[in-house]
Amino acid sequence: MTIFQLLLFVIAVAVFIMFFKQLFSGDLPTNKIDIDPNMDKEDVVKVTQFDTQVLGGMPRVSRVQQLIAMADEAIDKQDFSEADKALSSALILEKNDINILLKYGFVLISLKRLEDAKDTYLEILNLNENEDIAHASLANVYHKLNENELALYHHRKSVEIDDSYAPHYFNYANTLYDLSVKDEALVYYKKAYELDSSLEEAIRMVKELSSKSN
């Protein structure tokens, strides 16, 4: 080997060693976005967060979340058949999710599938007997099915569980009014309006019933 060839070999080995030393020291950028060493710490965080998102680090939306979003969109369009399909599929994956069951109950009522809606709300109450929205919704279903003793019972339960939620009083008053228990209905309409003055129908019913009682 000539002196020139030996010199070239030494240089090649030195370059090779320097390259691998730099590679394993972490000095090389680990992704496509170079970070300026003079950048503030706050800016570094922003860049790395953006890099994580761009390079696929964003959390995936679950299939259940996709189905719920589809159902919400269908409900907004009043396409309750499509909402039914989406929520039925979601419940296969998360059968005990109370929020999905509450949406499903609403959709079933909208489709006039009252027995199915009743079963859905009873299922919710089996999971959580203090779910006031389920009591109130079940009361409305029982009223539509002319099972009024049960309707009144579940209205009372909804009010007992959350006595600060105006719609519970308003729904209870509506059922009482339909059953011609108007003095008691007036009390609950007043309470609903007292809790939420935006319930214009409640104050209208208060005026109507008050004028008839005079």
Give, as one character, the DSSP assignment of residue 163. Answer: T
Task: Tell whether the model's pLDDT for residue 54 goes beyond 80.
Answer: no
Give 100-156 as a 3 state SS string. Answer: HHHHHHHHHHHCCCHHHHHHHHHHHHHHCCCCHHHHHHHHHHHHHCCCHHHHHHHHH
Q: Please, which pLDDT band fits residue 163 given cuts at 50, 70 and 90?
A: very high
pLDDT at 55: 41
Give the pTM.
0.71
Percentage of the chain beyond pLDDT 90 is 69
Q: Are 179 and 153 in contact (CB under 8 A)?
A: no
Task: Tell whether the model's pLDDT for residue 115 goes beyond 70.
Answer: yes
Task: Tell whether the model's pLDDT for residue 6 goes beyond 80.
Answer: no
Structure-token match 């009482």, residue found:
176
Q: Are 115 and 146 in contact (CB under 8 A)?
A: no
